[in-house]
Amino acid sequence: MYVIIIGCGRVGSEVALLLSREGHNVVVIDKNPSSFSKLGTEFNGVSIVGSGYDLEDLKEAGIEKADAVCCVSDKDNVNIISAQVAKKIFGIKKVIARIYDPKREATYDELGLDVIGGTTLIARLIKEKITHPYFVHHLYSKEDIRLIEIVVDDELSKISIEKIEKSKKIKIIAIIDGNGQIMNRWQALSKGQVLLGIAKEEG
């Protein structure tokens, strides 16, 4: 994939490195030249000093051929404007924007943007860690639906899928073993397996 990342802070640089390691073509845009030092020597992509909503800077980054644009600067306004430019002017279908103010999430939704709310996600993850020790990853949240990942431990390996679903108020949609194979619901669970499930947000 050809991905443009706007903002080379902690999140932007980490996403850029993860994608670069997987062999994707990555271009990072940031107004601050010193921010690119976070990428280190293993980054195989391109870094451009510029603005995420400047048309010329985006064209230099190759936005016409981009598969996705990720707006993760440290300013909500920059992220929302950059995301709109990528989606509305250049027709990029996959545009992801980070928000710091949870109150703005509705605005992003109205614009048809995929949003990642760092504060909200972290708060929910901490809550899950406290109230549901088996929930190790809160993978996705949209309106009142959550996609979660559960790692089977010794205790869960002794319980049936039906009992887990009932006690945790979730619907298990996949069971994955250590080799990445999809297991059947009727098979006994083993420690280390991963359960993917859907749950309703309870607040």
* DSSP codes of every residue in 33-73: GGGGGGG-SS--SEEEES-TT-HHHHHHTTGGG-SEEEE--
Tell which CATH classification among 3.40.50.720, 3.20.20.80, 3.30.70.1060, 3.60.90.10 matches the domain 2-117. Answer: 3.40.50.720
Class of domain 132-200: alpha beta
- Confidence (pTM): 0.63
The reported pLDDT for the residue numbered 130 is 47
Domain with CATH 3.30.70.1450 in the chain: 132-200
pLDDT of residue 119: 54
Residue range(s) of every CATH 3.40.50.720 domain in the chain: 2-117
- Listed as ranges, residues in the chain with pLDDT below 70 are 117-145, 180, 201-203
Distance CA 203, CA 192 (A): 29
Please give the backbone phi and psi of residue 131, each rounded to the nearest 5 degrees, phi first. Answer: -90, -25
Q: Determine if residue 77 is left, alpha or beta; phi over 0 gives left, psi from -120 to 50 gives alpha, anything else beta.
A: alpha
Tell me which residue of 20, 16, 19, 21 sits closest to 5, measured CA to CA: 16
pLDDT at 167: 80
Give residue 177's pLDDT: 81
pLDDT of residue 55: 96
